[in-house]
Amino acid sequence: MSTPSKTSPNGGPPRAAAPAGRVRRLSRRDKWVLSLMVGLPTLIQLVLVWIPTLLSAALSFTRWNGLSLEDIKPAGLSNYEFIAQNYPPFWPAVQHNVLWLVFLALIATPLGLLLAILLDQNIRGSKIYQSIFFTPVMLSLALIGVIWQLFYNRDSGLLNFLLGTAGTPQAVDWFGDSGVNIWAALIAATWRHAGYVMILYLAGLKGVDPTLREAAQIDGANAVQTFFRVIFPAMRPVNVIIIVITVIESLRAFDIVYVINRGTNGLELISALVIQNLVGEGQVIGVGSALAVILLVISLVPITFYLSRAFGKDKEA
Amino acid sequence: MTMPEDALRRASSQGGWDRRTLLKTFGAGAIAMAGAPLLAACTGGSGPSASASKTVSFGSGSSDEVPKAAYKAVTDAFTKKSGITVTTNVVPHNDFQNKINTYLQGSPDDTFTWFAGYRMQYYAGKGLLAPIDDVWEKIGGNYSEAMKKASTGADGKMYFVPNYNYPWGFFYRKSLWAEKGYEVPTTFDELTALAKKMKTDGLIPIEFADKDGWPAMGTFDYLNMRLNGYQFHMDLTAHKESWDQKKVSDVFDTWKELLPFQNPNALGMTWQDSAKNLGAKKSGMYLLGSFLTQQYTDKTVAADIDFFPFPELAVEGRDAVEAPIDGLLLSKKGGQNQSAKDFLAYLGTPEGQDVYASVDSSNIAAAKGADTSKFSPLTKKMADVISNAKSISQFFDRDALPAMANNVMIPALQSFIKDGNVDVKNLEAQAKSLYAAQ
């Protein structure tokens, strides 16, 4: 970059010394293209991300009935106080989100990794298995609801049928019992998340230089050692992505609890509360916005972690 | 037959909402929020429609096939009679209800389908609806006192034209009761005594489902009205009365006497599951809206279903009936259109109601003098209960602020059903904050 090239717009000599023709050539179409390329994404970003975010942050400090703009009244921190002190579903929702994170991190993600390692062994039909495990990621919300209903239904579900309790008073009420339904939902979430993690790790494993493996074997490492000491550290970029995805997935977990019972009765999650307060008839814009801001602030932590890692690595390179 | 929209909307929580609808609604909400200034500007700009116009625009949330066809029959008959054209805009009912705020502020139709109750009064109070006292002068004689009360705004003006309603009450299978020798209870003590007997007979005495959260409100409403009276129900749902008082805790304490007789698996069941149990004679009776009967497609079962109103408890006997009313409102813009008023007046006549009922016979026409000759004995009984009622409540989620019903009552009732505990202090704290935001 030290030698100014003719094609570099910024790296050239001071403008006064530049030949007039070149400046004109850059300033016409190139300038248009450049400003379009910078302006359009910025505009989209502004309209779709920043303005709504800032607006909803601003609304979280107001009371508003969603009708005319004059009805917006400043409310200070009262929405946040309401959430923390008087809103019974909030703290259970936080607990459930934490539980969701722990469960995904300790069970679903390792399960996905395990699937990836198994499928990476060139076993016969591994493509088919891959597709099967990945299918849940692609299914729509409505379909997932139907599928798990078939499993968990108290009287006619597969699970109670296998346990031999279907139709008896001992039958477990997988969705209705507030002590059980969060685990039922977590299993359903794992079913999806593991497939997602598996695909990412499969790609990661394919990207690991095979000579590393050979070198480890020559040095006398066994399979377990090879994996944990050599392969796994070599997949560091994928690991970072997986950590971030796991955290984000657990924060925005929503669809499964929503199809079960709209996130009530033991299935409260922050995201479900946001939807309940912002969309539809139970609209309380101030409280909903405050919940959304809380969720945003929590999400910023892993995002910052990821970005600092990603950019930090760029600098090293 | 399709069930009433409300029920259908709630029933859809089992997976009817796909991600796309949700995102669409959510996206629309975000855009609406961002575009609120624009919208506000628009409302000021739309000029008054010509008062002599021979057209009426009609926004309908009755998107199910049968009600849709029924409203079409009404508009056709009206056009034929008066020469006024009605353009109907049908919107899926979920969308219609969720977007009512932006709808009313944007460019609403002259007249549109809605419900009686708090939400009607609320928009009337915000000046988004046009009063129709002149219409009521013509049709007032067609309606009972209770219907009139339910159509009145908080300012005493009339806003609503009732089309049909459906009562809530106990449903049971006649053959089962005859076989076991059960008698219809008229007092609460008789009800609990009967429930005890049913339990020893190996039945679930009172069928109950609350996975979707709203059905339990029916039990709450009735206990509240029978214990504290209709006016207290209205004042409580309008938050003129505090939740943190003995009258409210008494409701829950009384309910605790019923809890052991209600289906213990209620929290995992939808009302359709419960309907199955009642149909299969596994349970003795079921407190629900009359849309329940539409679940029984088997003619012999359907003919075997009977109904009795909620027994009396402390005050007012059985005067109050919970019977949500659906009907039409006039938007602010429609208030300047005489043809729209004529249309409302037409719907409020027995003639207009008969046209509607000839297509959609599952509900009970709201006007007196509507043709009852095609009613089944059960429908007739229910219609009598409604026409003899001194006051008609609209169901908790129509009488109260929707946020109070959805965000506060649903979790509170579900946790009450689980362990019999309820924190009325917290209910009051939440109510205070939510009603203040309106």
Q: Between residues 132 and 191 of chain A, which touch chain B (CB distance below 8 Å)?
A: 140-142, 145-146, 149, 154-155, 173-178
Report pLDDT digits (tens) over A139-192: 877 788 788 888 887 777 788 888 877 667 777 788 888 888 889 888 888 888
| Mutate: best of B119, B204, B267, B435, partner A, most A CBs <10 A | B267
**Cα gap B24→B95, rounded to integer Å:** 10
Phi-psi region of A66 (alpha: psi -120 to 50; beta: other; left: phi over 0): left
Report whether pLDDT(B52) > 80: no
The answer to whether residues B236 and B409 touch, using CB atoms and an 8 Å cutoff, is no
**DSSP state, residue B14:** G
A-chain residue closest to B18, CA distance: A142
**Cα gap A180→A159, rounded to integer Å:** 13
DSSP code per residue over B88-116: EEE--HHHHHHTHHHHHHS---SEEEEES
User: Could you tell me the two tokens for A289?
Assistant: 């916005």
Q: Between residues 231 and 290 of chain B, which touch chain A (CB distance below 8 Å)?
A: 265-269, 273
**A39–chain B Cβ distance below 8 A for any pair:** no
- Work out the number of other CB atoms within 10 angstroms of the CB of residue A54: 11
- CB contact (8 A) between residue B402 and residue A281: yes
- CB contact (8 A) between residue B25 and residue A87: no
Phi, psi at B60, each rounded to 5°: -120, 130
Distance from CA of A291 to the nearest CA of B (A): 13
User: Could you tell me the two tokens for B235?
Assistant: 């004042």
Task: Show the domains of chain B with their CATH numbers.
Answer: 19-166+325-380 (3.40.190.10), 168-322 (3.40.190.10)
**A288–chain B Cβ distance below 8 A for any pair:** no
**B88–chain A Cβ distance below 8 A for any pair:** no
Which chain A residues are within 8 Å of B117, Cβ to Cβ?
A: none
| Residue B25 parent element (H or E) | helix B19-34
pLDDT at A3: 42
The answer to whether residues A292 and A278 touch, using CB atoms and an 8 Å cutoff, is yes
Give whole-number Cα distances, A37 to A29, A43, A146, B86, in Å.
12, 10, 44, 49
Distance from CA of B437 to the nearest CA of A (A): 5
Which chain B residues are within 8 Å of A270, Cβ to Cβ?
A: none
Report pLDDT digits (tens) over B278-306: 988 889 999 998 888 878 888 888 889 99
pLDDT at B114: 92
| Residue B426 parent element (H or E) | helix B424-436
Kindly tell me the burial class for residue A31, based on how many C-beta atoms sit within 10 Å of its own C-beta (0-12, 13-18, 19 or more).
Answer: exposed
**B421–chain A Cβ distance below 8 A for any pair:** no
Report pLDDT digits (tens) over B76-94: 999 998 889 999 999 988 7
pLDDT at B416: 92
pLDDT at A24: 56
**Cα gap B409→B417, rounded to integer Å:** 12
Sign of CA dihedral B173, B178, B182, B187: positive
Report pLDDT digits (tens) over B303-344: 899 999 999 988 888 888 999 999 999 999 888 888 999 999
Q: Any residues with CB less than 8 A from the CB of A139 and at least 6 apart, and which?
A: A147
As a whole number, mean pLDDT of residues B97-112 equals: 86
The answer to whether residues B171 and B288 touch, using CB atoms and an 8 Å cutoff, is yes
Which chain A residues are within 8 Å of B434, Cβ to Cβ?
A: 284, 287
pLDDT at A290: 92
**B24–chain A Cβ distance below 8 A for any pair:** no
- CB contact (8 A) between residue A78 and residue B418: no
| Residue B59 parent element (H or E) | strand B55-60
Q: How many CA atoms lie within 13 A of B328 on its CB side?
A: 32
Distance from CA of A91 to the nearest CA of B (A): 13
Per-residue pLDDT band at B18 (split at 50, 70, 90)? very low
Phi, psi at A13, each rounded to 5°: -65, 170
As a whole number, mean pLDDT of residues B383-405 equals: 87
Check residues B48 and A139 and name the one with the higher pLDDT: A139
Which chain B residues are within 8 Å of A286, Cβ to Cβ?
A: 437
Distance from CA of A103 to the nearest CA of B (A): 24
Closest CA to B215 of B144, B277, B285, B286: B286
Closest CA to A256 of A182, A176, A189: A189
Distance from CA of B258 to the nearest CA of A (A): 20
pLDDT at B89: 92
| Highest-confidence segment of A166-180, B27-41, B250-264 | B250-264
Sign of CA dihedral A80, A82, A86, A90: negative
DSSP code per residue over A237-252: HHHHHHHHHHHHHHHH
Across-strand partners of B57?
B87
| Mutate: best of A90, A173, A284, partner B, most B CBs <10 A | A284
Of the listed ranges B85-89, B128-132, B380-384, the least confidently predicted one is B380-384
pLDDT at B223: 93
One-letter identity of residue A40: L
Report whether pLDDT(B258) > 80: yes
- CB contact (8 A) between residue B34 and residue A66: no
**Cα gap B137→B82, rounded to integer Å:** 19
The β-bridge relationship of strands B305-308 and B168-173 is antiparallel
Give whole-number Cα distances, B24 to A262, A285, A291, in Å.
17, 18, 21
Average pLDDT, chain B: 83
Kindly tell me the burial class for residue B317, based on how many C-beta atoms sit within 10 Å of its own C-beta (0-12, 13-18, 19 or more).
Answer: middle
pLDDT at B59: 92
Task: Report the C-alpha dihedral over residues A279, A284, A286, A289, rounded to 10 degrees.
Answer: -20
The answer to whether residues A11 and A4 touch, using CB atoms and an 8 Å cutoff, is yes
| Mutate: best of B42, B274, B413, B433, partner A, most A CBs <10 A | B433
Kindly tell me the burial class for residue B271, based on how many C-beta atoms sit within 10 Å of its own C-beta (0-12, 13-18, 19 or more).
Answer: buried
User: Could you tell me the two tokens for A35?
Assistant: 């400003």
Report pLDDT digits (tens) over B203-251: 899 999 998 888 999 999 999 999 999 999 989 998 999 999 999 999 9
Per-residue pLDDT of chain A in tens (317 residues, 90 and over written 9): 344 444 444 444 444 444 554 555 677 888 889 899 999 999 999 999 899 889 889 988 988 877 777 778 888 888 898 888 888 889 989 999 989 999 998 999 999 999 888 888 878 888 888 888 888 888 877 788 788 888 887 777 788 888 877 667 777 788 888 888 889 888 888 888 888 899 899 888 888 888 888 888 888 888 888 888 888 888 888 888 888 888 888 888 888 888 888 888 888 899 888 888 888 767 888 889 999 999 988 888 878 887 887 777 655 54
pLDDT at B131: 92
The answer to whether residues B51 and B336 touch, using CB atoms and an 8 Å cutoff, is yes
Sign of CA dihedral B224, B225, B231, B234: positive
DSSP code per residue over chain A: --S--TT-SSSSSPGGGS-HHHHHHIIIIIHHHHHHHHHHHHHHHIIIIIHHHHHHHHHTTEE--SS-GGG-EE-TTHHHHIIIII-TTHHHHHHHHHHHHHHIIIIIHHHHHHHHHHHTT--TTHHHHHHHHHHHHHS-HHHHHHHHHHHH-TTT-HHHHHHT-TTSTT---TTT-TTTHHHHHHHHHHHHHHHHHHHHHHHHHHHS-HHHHHHHHHTT--HHHIIIIIIHHHTHHHHHHHHHHHHHHHHH--HHHHHHHSS-TT---HHHHHHHHHSSTT--HHHHHHHHHHHHHHHHHHHHHHHHHHHHHHHH-
- The model's pTM is 0.77
Which chain B residues are within 8 Å of A64, Cβ to Cβ?
A: 437
**Cα gap A287→B102, rounded to integer Å:** 19
Kindly tell me the burial class for residue B43, based on how many C-beta atoms sit within 10 Å of its own C-beta (0-12, 13-18, 19 or more).
Answer: middle
3-class state of residue B152 by DSSP: strand
**B97–chain A Cβ distance below 8 A for any pair:** yes
**B141–chain A Cβ distance below 8 A for any pair:** no
Give whole-number Cα distances, B132 to B121, B326, B342, in Å.
13, 17, 11
Q: Between residues 296 and 315 of chain A, which touch chain B (CB distance below 8 Å)?
A: none
**A276–chain B Cβ distance below 8 A for any pair:** yes
The fraction of chain B above a pLDDT of 70, given in percent, is 88
DSSP code per residue over B279-331: HTTSEEEEEEEGGGGGG--SHHHHHTEEEEPPPB-SSSTT-EEE--EEEEEEB
